[in-house]
Amino acid sequence: MGGFLYLEGGEKSYYLDSGEKETVNGEPFALDSDGWGSNTRFIPLNKRWKPAEIEYQTIPFISGQKTVILASLWIGGNTLYRWGGELTGDRTYEKNDKHFLTLNPSTSTGDGNWQAYTGEDKFNATGNGATTSCDGVGYVFGGISWSGTSPSITSDAKESQSGMFMFNTSTKAWRKSTSDLNIPGATHRSGNAVCLSGFLDYSLVALLGGTVRSSQTQRSFSKLTFFDPIADRWRTQTTQNFPSERDSACAVGVRSKYGTYEIYLYGGMDKSGTAYSDIYVLSLPLFRWFKVTPPNTPKRQLHSCVLAGKRQMVSYGGLDAKYSTDAWKSSDPWANTLGIFDLNTLQWKDEFDPDLGEYEMPDEIKKAYDAGGLGNVIWDDEENKSIFMSNSSPSFNMSTDLRYIDLGTNTTNTTNSTDSSGSGNQSDNSSSGTPAGAIAGGVVGGVVGLAIIGVAAWFFLRRRNQGREQVGEVEGSTELPKELYGGPPVPGTPSRSAKSPAPPRYVAQPSYNPNETYYELHDTGVASELASDTVGSPQQSTFASTSPRSYSRSQGSAL
């Protein structure tokens, strides 16, 4: 997509610092069900920008295109696909409205025109599913369907959708898998999906968090649950030091040059409706979670995240409390509800920098590997070990600070536990004090898309304005199902060994320390919670004014 960040859909409302709504011609703003005025916004990623100084470029909606929240945004080649999502304000679709659309932006300017997708649309569209795109295939697991997600549905009752929906952006073929639904939970919503690349010849899809709607229980992080689209099966692997249960978080994934793969999970909401401000990192193949406690991290739920550049996570939108009228009234400490997190330094930044170098896994994670952490992984089965530990003739790279194998170049993927009960063994909501603000981003329920990287994210804009925006079956045979598998052709049988950079090996593995039970990255004691309007360098002036031009809380999606 030429290196642009797209912010699509969502919901916003406008409140001043006083807690009163903005007015236009004497009339107060209500919740804005049309998000940003029926258009898609985008930001270039080839130059520096600060959230407070962004000048969005826009692409207008076409006739029949509606603002939605919690949609799926997929990337295929140079095309953005928007499927499903929920209409805002409990509105329903009319007969000729469009719920499946494509955008082919210019790779040089980012501009383009939305078009209604005219191919086969085999399944009822969903909203609030766990969604991502990997290898040219769009995935969404679970979610809900009703007359507000598709014009072909006439019922206003919100029904859970079971299974993994898959859309091949090259062949335009649809598939749905209902295998092993007892593992991820058949009625899933509000979770995250992340591509796991580099371990096999194709990407696996990890499912993180969320709620099993039938039982209203949040899924545990005690096991990483992941889907194999070629074998058409779900698998799980036990993790250590896992976070407490949550839904409505955001997540991105990135592969290091050492062959490890890290998933960054930010925020979310617990069963009681309390939002989190913590960040957790799951490193594979170590299968250990590390807690990150950077200062000035606001609570967020219903937000969206995307990997921008090589090592920056952009968070957009969200709320700092359970979705309610009061949640919309707290101001967002982030200008335009955008937060920029450097995955190398584990710090929030005031500026997006396209020239930052390669992603390097944090030192604390390196130390865990160097101390022989892989020797302490308890594999659930040999096939899991084979998937994540395969390697072919690696050569040692004796670095001065680390004994790792040189596993080649860095590749990245981005996006949006098997049991559904039980609490995390190491995490609690470390946030305390006054709620800092409603979300990062510009809208609630929006989608975010990156042209080259392929990510779906949800964002909430909050401020002084507040809003909600959205930034046949595969058999386990030896034949590669071409109707599902996207990306470059892979001749012959899909290999179970990694053809991409593989996990690290070690020269030495010191003995296991039984007293070592928990790791925190950059431990600062209790995670700081924003009680002011600043993140990173001071930008208080951005939010100090009670001028009608305010940053809204919103939910949205980003790519």
Cis peptide before 285 (omega within 30 of 0): yes
How many CB atoms are located within 10 Å of the residue 523 CB? 13
Q: Which residues contact 78 (CB under 8 A, 6 or more apart)?
A: 1, 2, 104, 105, 107, 451
| DSSP string for 25-45 | TTEE---BTTTTTSEEEEEES
Amino acid 24: pLDDT = 53
Largest CA distance in the chain: 72
Give me the phi and psi of 544, to 5 degrees please: -75, -30
Q: Which residues contact 124 (CB under 8 A, 6 or more apart)?
A: 145, 149, 150, 152, 153, 161
Place of tokens 């029904």: 159
The C-alpha atoms of residue 46 and residue 43 are separated, in whole angstroms, by 9
Is residue 330 within 8 Å of 341, Cβ to Cβ? no
Helix (H) or strand (E) holding 14: strand 4-14
One-letter identity of residue 74: W
* Tens digit of pLDDT at every position of the chain (559 positions): 559 999 988 877 666 666 666 655 555 555 544 555 689 999 999 999 999 999 999 999 999 999 999 999 999 999 999 999 999 877 899 999 999 999 999 999 999 999 999 999 999 999 999 999 999 999 999 999 999 999 999 999 999 999 999 999 999 999 999 999 999 999 999 999 999 999 999 999 999 999 999 899 999 999 999 999 999 999 999 999 999 999 999 999 999 999 999 999 999 999 999 999 999 999 999 999 999 999 999 999 999 999 999 999 999 999 898 877 777 777 789 999 999 999 999 999 999 999 999 999 999 999 999 999 999 999 999 999 999 998 532 222 323 333 222 223 333 343 443 333 333 444 443 333 322 222 222 346 666 765 332 233 222 232 223 333 444 333 333 333 333 433 333 333 344 444 444 444 332 333 333 343 333 343 332 222 222 222 233 332 222 222 333 344 566 677 7
First to last CA, the chain: 10
Amino acid 36: pLDDT = 59
Amino acid 553: pLDDT = 56
Tokens of 12: 């916003």
Amino acid 322: pLDDT = 84
Residues 50, 551, 247, 267: what is their CA dihedral angle, to the nearest 10 degrees? 40
Burial classification of residue 467, based on how many CB atoms lie within 10 Å of its CB (0-12 exposed, 13-18 middle, 19 or more buried)? buried
Residue of 200, 182, 68, 188 lying closest to 134 (CA atoms)? 200
Strand duo 137-141 + 130-134: pairing: antiparallel
Place of tokens 């649309």: 121
What are the b/e assignments for 442-451, b being 16+ CB within 10 Å? bbbbbbbbbb
How many CB atoms are located within 10 Å of the residue 385 CB? 14
Tokens of 256: 């290091």
- Specify the pTM: 0.76
What are the b/e assignments for 352-367, b being 16+ CB within 10 Å? beeebeebbbbebbbe
Residue of 249, 212, 206 lying closest to 227 (CA atoms)? 206
Helix (H) or strand (E) holding 366: helix 363-370
In angstroms, the Cα distances linking 344 to 208, 263, 472 are 22, 13, 42
Q: Which residues contact 203 (CB under 8 A, 6 or more apart)?
A: 134, 135, 195, 196, 197, 413
One-letter identity of residue 344: N
